[in-house]
Amino acid sequence: MFTINTPITIELDDDKEEEDDTVEPKKKKRKKKVFYGIKTKKRFTQSGSGTRKSYELFYVIKDPIELDPYVRDIYWVDYRRGAIRHGGEVDQEHGAVLHGPYKRMQGEQLIEEGIFYKGMKHGRWVEYDKNDLLVDKEKYYKGWPKESKVSYYDRNREKMKEIVPIEYGEKEGNYFYFHENGRVAVRGEFKWDQRVGDWVEYYTTGRRKKVVRYPKEPYNDDMNPYTWKEWNQRGKLVYEKR
């Protein structure tokens, strides 16, 4: 129901960033608990018991920060629950955003390892099985899987046009299409290569234009997408499906 034309498209993996984007120092000694120039605090969580007891070792930013509004999964530790959460609203009053190295351990065994940048997965992330064999490896760039595609209105890559989130070869995550003035034109979410939830279209002024409703979960053949609401340019509701 939304038609997109993307003339200038790149893949994040094509950028000239360091492949692994690690935080290890090269010549100068890095300050402890400082990653990408931001001071952090070391934290941990634990769950389970006995041989199934697991730990998460990570760092958090001390003070509340401005979050990227376009990335779906922002990771943060909820101090009230004593657990790391992602997706949905981030409560920085009762929690803190992850930033820096992360490890998940089961006993002395490393299960998962990666790095966060302001709550977003960044660089190389790996997972291991109980035999220390690599079972998964994924690369990110500030919250976006590096398979994701970004298109621009201009060849200088200053006016972003579209972000298509791609993970393991399928669309997965928040999708955005922008007007040439920089405002969001269309926003929605993909799960397993399928559009889910409400997809919202906006006028160049930022006012809502249309909401198209898709199934909440992918591959739901019992529901067909439909236009739920429409507004005119003055913001007046002109259509609502009842």
For the chain, give the percent of residues with pLDDT over 70.
88
Q: Taking the CB of residue 72, how many other CB atoms lie within 10 A of it?
A: 18
Q: pTM above the 0.75 mark?
A: no
DSSP state of 13: G
- Asked whether residue 206 falls in the same domain as residue 236, the answer is yes
Q: What does the pLDDT read at residue 12?
A: 65
- Asked whether residue 138 falls in the same domain as residue 169, the answer is no
Task: Judge whether 218 lies within some domain.
Answer: yes
Domain count within the chain = 2
Please tell me the total number of residues recorded for the chain in this structure.
242
Domain of 210? 8-12+147-240
DSSP state of 98: B
Distance in angstroms (rounded) separating the CA atoms of residues 227 and 230: 8
Last residue of a domain, one of 143, 165, 195: 143
Last residue of a domain, one of 94, 123, 143: 143
Task: Judge whether 1 lies within some domain.
Answer: no
User: Tens digits of per-residue pLDDT, 98-124?
Assistant: 999 999 999 889 999 999 999 999 999
Question: DSSP 3-state assignment of 164?
Answer: strand
Q: What does the pLDDT read at residue 6?
A: 40
Task: Judge whether 95 lies within some domain.
Answer: yes
Task: Judge whether 22 lies within some domain.
Answer: no
Last residue of a domain, one of 93, 115, 143: 143
